[in-house]
Structure 1
Amino acid sequence: MRLLLDLGNTRLKWALQGPSPAWLAQGVLEWREDLAALPVAWADFARPSQVVGASVVDDAREQRVAAVVRHAFGGAPTWLRTPASACRVRNAYAEPQRLGVDRFLAMVAAHAAGQAPCVLASAGTALVLDALAADGRHLGGLIAPGVQLMQRSLLDATAQVRPQRPGDILQLADNTADAVTSGCWQAAAALIERFHAQMRPRLGGAPALILDGGDATQLVPLLSLPVQIGKDSVLRGLALWADAQMPAPANH
């Protein structure tokens, strides 16, 4: 049994992995919540043979989570740092460790599932795009502000843009609230479609589009492309990496 940890910018996701493909248990914790909720959620678990984590947060937050894991299970997690290659996926970055480990693991999950060639779009705090060839080559990607971050940046940088209510997503807006909301959502959708179009010839003409992240479901209706919704991509990629690099002891 293995405990998997995905420390993202907005929240921590975890899953308990057993011998079957389905998770034995899983959960999500927003960073604004108390980490003391984790031992409560894990209270009925037997001690896992391994605790493996992927993190894009700062060292201090990693150390806080590691302390919770030590207190709950008596051992520290193993943190995966982005490699140059693993699980038949090859990192495009000249300095491999500078690619977010979440991006690498999402590609591992997509390649293992037979979804490559594909464009992966993660719509969360940031909007992150990656192109993955059928043979596992990562061609590179783009990073832009996520929809919520775009809206906050616009409000912080302007004096007159002060919506009095949350806006709706429209093709044409006749008020500021709807204009801000619609502009940011449509900008995100347009970037995804543009990137996909530019990658088509380099990925063999018909790459899948895999959309993941907290804003994924709201983006789907704005896209003119067929979309596959990714689920637990980072955790699934982390499980595959752990299976390949640090198989669990035979007695667990």
Structure 2
Amino acid sequence: MRLLLDLGNTRLKWAIVSADSWVARGAVAWEEDVAAALAQAWRPPRQLQQIFGASVVDAAREAQIERVVMEVFARQVAWVRTPAEACGVRIAYAEPQRLGVDRFLAMVAAHASEASPCVLAGIGTALTLDALTADGRHLGGLIAPGPLLMQQALYGATARVKPYQPGAIRDIADNTADAVVSGCWQAVAALIERFATKLATPAGGIQRLLLDGGDAASLLPLLGVPAELAPDSVLRGLDVWAATPASS
């Protein structure tokens, strides 16, 4: 049995896995009392053989999670860092460690589930896009603000564009609140579509497009190209990593 930890920008997601089944899972936002929430969720402690973590946050929050894990399970966290090649995936970056481990593990999960060309879009605080070939070769990707971060940046940089009421996503807006929300969400959708279209092949058309992240479900209906949700991709990639002999 193993514990998997995904430390994202907004929240921490976790899963306890036994063989091929997820025994327990949960999430906690960083604005909450993370230590107390996890200690309660993990008790009574299970007998774990492995604990793997993936993190895009600072060292202080990693250390906080390490302390909770040690207190509850009396075990160390094995942090996964992006390698040049592992689990059938080969990273395009000349300095692989500069690629977010969340992006690497999402590609690992996608490649393990189906060896086909795909585009991966992570829609959260940031928008990340990556292209992966059928044989696991990472072609590269893009990073942009996510839709909510884009809205916050616009509000912060302007004097009169303010959220005086909740906005709604529309094709064309007749008020400022709707215009801001619609513009940001449609901009993200358009970038995803452009990225996927650029990688389309004459024979096969647009490749498999997989969406994950906190805002993936909200974005899916805005896309004009076929796409599917691939939830918990970082945790699923961690599970593949943990089951690979070289990682243990």
Residue 55 of structure 1: aligned partner = 55
Letter aligned with residue 163 of structure 2: P
Residue 102 of structure 1: aligned partner = 102
Pair 1:227 & 2:227 matched: yes
Q: Is the 8 A contact 2:115 2:135 kept in 1?
A: no
Gaps of 5+ in 2: none
CA shift at 1:175, angstroms?
A: 0.7
CA root-mean-square deviation: 1.5
Equivalent residue runs for 1:196-207 within 5 Å: 196-201=196-201, 205-207=205-207
Residue 73 of structure 2: aligned partner = 73
Equivalent residue runs for 1:74-153 within 5 Å: 74-114=74-114, 116-153=116-153
CA shift at 1:47, angstroms?
A: 2.6
Pair 1:11–1:88, CA change in 2 (3 A): same
Q: Which aligned runs of 4 or more in structure 1 are off by greater than 4 angstroms? A: none
Give secondary structure in 2 for the equivalent of 1:24: strand
Give secondary structure in 2 for the equivalent of 1:149: helix
Q: Is the 8 A contact 2:130 2:142 kept in 1?
A: yes
Pair 1:76–1:153, CA change in 2 (3 A): same
Q: TM-score scaled by structure 1?
A: 0.95
Q: Percent identity?
A: 61
Letter aligned with residue 11 of structure 1: R
Gaps of 5+ in 1: none
Q: Is the 8 A contact 1:133 1:203 kept in 2?
A: no
Residue 27 of structure 1: aligned partner = 26
CA shift at 1:228, angstroms?
A: 1.2
Distance in 2 (alpha carbons) for counterparts of 1:153 and 1:59: 26
Letter aligned with residue 22 of structure 1: S
CA shift at 1:210, angstroms?
A: 0.3
Q: TM-score scaled by structure 2?
A: 0.96
Q: Is the 8 A contact 1:93 1:140 kept in 2?
A: yes
Distance in 2 (alpha carbons) for counterparts of 1:102 and 1:123: 12
Q: Is the 8 A contact 2:45 2:73 kept in 1?
A: no
Give secondary structure in 2 for the equivalent of 1:76: coil
